[in-house]
Every structure is written in C-alpha cells, then in structure tokens.
Amino acid sequence: MQKFLLTALFLCSLVYAKAQGSNSPILFIYDASGSMWGELAGKTKKEIASDVLASTVGKLPENQPIGLIAYGHRTKGDCDDIEYLVELSNRSKTNITKAVEGINPIGKTPLARSATMAINSLKANQTKATLILITDGIESCDGDLCKVVAEAKASGIDFKLHIVGFGLKDGEKEQLKCAAKAGDGNYYDAMDAAALNDGLTEATTQTVDKPAANFSVYALKNGQPVDAWVRPTNTATKKELDGARTYRDTARVYLPAGKYEIEVKPLEDSDIPATTILVELKEGEVKHQDVSFDGGKLEVSTTNNGEPWDAMVKVLDKTTGKVVSSTRTYARSKQMEVPAGHYKVTYQALTIEGIDINFEVADVEVKPATTTPISHNFKSGIA
C-alpha cells in the first residue's frame, strides 16, 4: 500500500511539473549597439530598456522559460558580436535582469544574424518559442531580417516573432514591420518608457502557444494611421476576449468562430469617439477590416412652432444603438463631429409639456469632411 501511494505521489508530481512547465520559452533578443547610449527624456535608452525589461520579466509566470540573446555588447564594429547570454531552458528571472544590467552597448546592429542564431537554436533544440526583438536601430550588417524570418517560417520552424522598435524614425520601421508580419507577430512602436512597457507587456502575452490571429484591424483618420485599442466581445456570451493595440499599424487578435462586437477606441486625438463594428467569423476564416475615423459633422437645430427652441439631441450608432455623441442646443444651431456612417438621431424638447416632446430620425448618413444639417420643429399649443 505504501509503495502504491509513493508511486501515485510521484506520478502526480510529474503531472504537476509538466503543467507548470507547459509554456513555451520566451527568447528576448536585446539591442546592445552603441546607439543605446542615446537619451530620451533625460535617461539613456540603455537605462530605460534595462528597467522596462526587468519589469516585464517580473510579471511573467514563475516557471516561465526565458532566454536572452544580446548583440553589439563586446566588440565595436563586429557584425558577429552576438551571444546567448541566458539559455532557453532558464527559468530564473534574476538571471535575465542581471545579464541585462551587465551589458555595455558599443557595437553594431546585426538583426538578421541575431535572428538566425535564435532560430537555429530552436531548430537544434526541436522546440518552439516566442521571440521578442528589442531594437533602437535598423540593420547595419547588410542582412535581410524579413527574408531570414520568412525562410525560417517556410521551412517549418515553429516560432512567433514580435519586434519592439525603440525611438525609431518613420523611415526606419518598414523592414521591421515586414519581419514581424513574416513571423506571425506584431510590430510595436515605442517612443518612450511607457510605450516600451506597453509593447513588451503585450508581446509577452501574445505567445506562440496561442492560436494564430484570424482577425485584424487597421485604424486611420484622414489617411493617416491612428493608435487605437481593439476590444472584442462575444455577442452571445457577452464575454470580452483578449484585445490588441494598433500602435499606428495593424492589431491582430484570435477569435473563435462566432459573432462579435468589436470596439475600436482611439488612444490619440481624444475628440474622436470610439466606434463599434460587428464581425462574424466562421471556423477557419481569416478577416481584416479597416476602420476609418474620418469625421463628418452633424449640424442640429430645433424649433417650437417655428421659433428656436432648447432640446437634447443624441446621435446613436444605427447598428449597435450606442450613443456616439450628444448635445444640448440651447435654442441655437449646434455641430457635432462623428465618424462617417449611418446614425439614428433623437430629439427631446425641453420646457415643453405633453406627449410630443420626443422625435426620432431613423437614418441619417454622415459623410467624411462634410456637414449634414438636420432639424426638427416641435408643435405645441396648436389644436
């Protein structure tokens, strides 16, 4: 009996250990090029990246395997200065933070060669992993990161690549975006410590263990990308699923087959209200939607027996019924900026008694860069 209990206990411990260690490794590829001594808001990018990475690692599950590759930290001008500082099998957060603290940025930016080292280690270990590349610069060793990633994916190596661009200029991002897309991951644009923290935090949650994204959103206004948060909610269960942020690019999420209300909320230009789109996904289906916040204006006015009159006016999304904008006229013409689309408009006359103080216009179309006038005349005291 005692032997049976010991055997059972041993088997249970194996099951527990397997469950605890079931997450695939996360491998950080860390920029230690000389440009990391550049400053943002009075601190070097090295200091900021070190602090934020330590914070990010600290939030990971206790038994999460975490590895670290650094480039440019030992020899100036050497495109082969790439080193595995912490192996993939590591489960100590302290090992990562200590390794990062000891890095002295002096070298070049061999992005393609660093990715090749990471990918080759996955192949050698026959494991899958989430790769997170942090860089403040573009390739400086004549490599083609996007090509390396695409070829590795085509060969069947299982990984997801996220890239966090730290303090990059607009013309420096396209190759990185290409590589992230080829690696089934996201590109995160970080211009300060807060954005770096947001990008790394989200990247560590969008792991290779999760199903591949099957729905994507690109938000824009007046032809320019808008940073926005995308929140999907299952219409049947009312459960909110994991969302994503566009970072002025494309947000990608995984949605099981079903119908969803997806709120797209701009994180800049606070005058732009959120919009909600309805999406249905079938098994195996992949969809994309551009969401335009190009605004138009509604010019509303109210009268009572032909005289200017005070009223409350609400503009509701025609699809969801949610209030997009509202105003009080105070007996004057008022303008409201809303995204282009179809709306229901409701009026409630103030300081009029009776049953006819409410009025509804079922369908008003607002077009981009145009002003749509709409008015209503209440009639009171007339037999």
pLDDT in tens, 11-37: 443 333 343 447 999 999 999 999 999
pLDDT number for residue 41: 84
Give the span between the Cα atoms of 349 and 62, in whole angstroms: 60
Same fold, 22-210 and 295-378: no
What is residue 270's predicted lDDT score, i.e. its pLDDT? Answer: 59
Would you state the structure tokens that stand for residue 73, as one six-digit string?
């930290």
Q: How far apart are CA 156 and CA 185, in angstroms?
A: 16
Q: Identify the residue whose tokens are 């060669």.
A: 113
**Two structure tokens written together for 157:** 């190596």
Nearest to 216 by CA among 198, 204, 232, 201: 232
**Positions in the chain whose pLDDT score sits under 50:** 1-21, 383
pLDDT per residue as tens digits for the range 41-54: 889 999 999 999 99
CATH superfamily assigned to domain 22-210: von Willebrand factor, type A domain (3.40.50.410)
pLDDT of 91 reads 96
pLDDT at 171: 86
Spans of all domains in the chain: 22-210, 211-293, 295-378
**Domain 295-378: CATH superfamily, name plus number:** Immunoglobulins (2.60.40.10)
Q: What is the pLDDT of residue 299?
A: 95
pLDDT at 11: 41
The per-residue pLDDT for 40 is: 87
The tokens describing 61, both together, are 């599950």
State the fold for domain 211-293. Answer: Immunoglobulin-like (2.60.40)
